[in-house]
Amino acid sequence: MKTRTLLTISAAIMATSAFAQDKSVTIASWGGSYQEAQSKALFEPAAANTGVEVKQETYGGMSDVRLQVSSGQVTLDIVASGSGSAARAAAEGLLEKLDFDVIDVSTFYPSLYTDYCLGGDVFSTVYAWNTETFGDNGPQSWADFWDVEKFPGTRAYRGAVAGALEPALMADGVAPEDVYSVLDSEDGIERAIDKIRELKSDIAVFWTSGAQQAQLMKDGEVDMTTGWNGRFDNAAKDGAMVKYSFNQALLDYDCFAIPKGAPNRDTAMEFLNEISKPEYQDDLPKYITYGPTNKAAYDTGEITAAVAAGLPSSPENAALQLPVSLDWYAKWETIAAEMYQEMLTE
């Protein structure tokens, strides 16, 4: 069922066999163009430089890790995950604690790693608009996204709770820095969901995947949507009439984690340290418009000013955004998701 991509860097192993003959790690990620970008920018060059043999797989997310850990048959050493689900997996005890004596995070953005998950790339949840409908001057805030008189047209919104409540509160007048304290109760969550109820008749589609966001904009099915910035860049490259703004966007990241009981735990730690170095991270934007999590990647000269200006994690763009709070997701996501589904099924 799972496509197993076996990547053997035999040349690299032969070259450095003296010091890393039997070291190997199995990495699972999401596949598609995302994993391709990771592979080209991070895994393959790091494997060549360290002599660690890298086996790549695709997987279905933390539920796979849960199954492996609970059945005691862990085969994965490193998994790529969304930050929120990694935080919940960590709370469940499914992940190894990262060893920051091995992994150097001194030049990382402090909000882009936890004890259990190391940031790999930064993306934003943004609002995007159809430039045919609204021109270049589309909505500039979440309040605009909610303003169907100023911006008449259909919307698409996320069908799951992650990244769906923060915009609603900002549209309701809550300052970005207060969003998570307001959300820290069922009443606060209900307030956000009520705000979405207000807009619901104008929401034509509740999207469930990144591919769907791009398709909705490309086909002109909706005039405005929320979504992940990289998807809209790809859609625009394909000719979609779409623009987005980083103002009030949610700054989020994907991260690498090590499942509890991973067969090559120590090698995995070393390998995570390797792929976090700026010399690998600065190549990632060449393959996908997601930013590095290591600040130092901006200093190598590989990321031009023009490219940096378009990345979610560039200092200018990051300053406009609300960083997603993993603590909130670990504490509330399950409850909020059930409340969100009530709104969806009404």
Partner 1 sequence: MQAVRINEAGLARDEWFERLKLFGLGSPAMLLILIILVVPVGWLFYVSFIGADGTFSLENYERMLKRKSYARIFQTTFEVSFLTTGLCILIGYPLAYFISGLPNRIANLCLITVLLPFWTSLLVRTYAWLVLLQKRGLVNEWAMSLGLWDEPIKIVHNMTGTLIGMVHIMLPFLILPVYGAMRAIDRDLMKAASNLGASPRRAFWTVFFPLTLPGLFAGSLMVFILCLGFFVTPAVLGGGKVIMVSMKIVSNIELFVNWGAASALGVVLLVATVAILWVASRFLNLERMTGGGH
CA 226 to CA 16: how far, in whole Å?
A: 47
- Given the complex with partner 1, which of 89 and 311 has the nearer CB atom? 89
Instruction: Determine if 329 is a binding residue for partner 1 (CB under 8 A).
Output: no
Distance of CA 257 to the CA centre of its chain: 13
Give the DSSP per-residue string, 326-337: HHHHHHHHHHHH
- Given the complex with partner 1, which of 85 and 229 has the nearer CB atom? 85
CA 262 to CA 266: how far, in whole Å?
A: 9
Helical spans, DSSP H, in the chain? 10-15, 17-20, 32-38, 44-50, 62-70, 83-91, 131-134, 142-146, 165-171, 179-182, 186-199, 210-218, 229-237, 265-275, 278-281, 284-287, 305-309, 315-319, 326-345
Give the DSSP per-residue string, 98-109: P-TTTS--TTB-
Residues 6 or more apart whose Cβ sits within 8 Å of residue 305: none
- Given the complex with partner 1, which of 160 and 320 has the nearer CB atom? 160
Query: CB of 205: closest distance to partner 1 in angstroms?
Result: 4
Q: What are phi and psi of 136, to 5 degrees?
A: -75, -25
Instruction: Determine if 337 is a binding residue for partner 1 (CB under 8 A).
Output: yes
Instruction: Determine if 328 is a binding residue for partner 1 (CB under 8 A).
Output: no
Instruction: Determine if 211 is a binding residue for partner 1 (CB under 8 A).
Output: no
Instruction: Determine if 333 is a binding residue for partner 1 (CB under 8 A).
Output: yes
Query: CB of 336: closest distance to partner 1 in angstroms?
Result: 10
Query: CB of 212: closest distance to partner 1 in angstroms?
Result: 9
Residues 6 or more apart whose Cβ sits within 8 Å of residue 93: 260
Instruction: Determine if 221 is a binding residue for partner 1 (CB under 8 A).
Output: yes
Instruction: Determine if 48 is a binding residue for partner 1 (CB under 8 A).
Output: no
Nearest to 28 by CA among 49, 55, 1, 47: 55
From 31, 176, 220, 310, residue interacting with partner 1 (rule: CB under 8 A) = 220
From 159, 176, 310, 323, residue interacting with partner 1 (rule: CB under 8 A) = 159
Alpha-carbon distance values, 280 to 99, 249, 293, 297 (Å): 20, 26, 11, 8
From 205, 241, 307, 320, residue interacting with partner 1 (rule: CB under 8 A) = 205
- Given the complex with partner 1, which of 41 and 235 has the nearer CB atom? 235
Query: CB of 144: closest distance to partner 1 in angstroms?
Result: 22
- Given the complex with partner 1, which of 218 and 243 has the nearer CB atom? 218
CA 148 to CA 171: how far, in whole Å?
A: 12
Instruction: Determine if 341 is a binding residue for partner 1 (CB under 8 A).
Output: yes
Query: CB of 156: closest distance to partner 1 in angstroms?
Result: 9
Query: CB of 230: closest distance to partner 1 in angstroms?
Result: 21
Alpha-carbon distance values, 75 to 23, 45, 119, 284 (Å): 15, 23, 22, 26
**Which structure tokens are listed for 242?**
């779409």
Show the site string, 113-152: x = touches partner 1 by CB under 8 A, - = not. ----------------------------------------
Show the site string, 75-104: x = touches partner 1 by CB under 8 A, - = not. ----------x------x------------
Instruction: Determine if 153 is a binding residue for partner 1 (CB under 8 A).
Output: no
Instruction: Determine if 33 is a binding residue for partner 1 (CB under 8 A).
Output: no
Instruction: Determine if 63 is a binding residue for partner 1 (CB under 8 A).
Output: yes
In the complex, the residues that contact partner 1 under the rule CB under 8 A are 61-63, 66, 85, 92, 154, 159-160, 204-208, 219-221, 333-334, 337-338, 341-342, 344-346
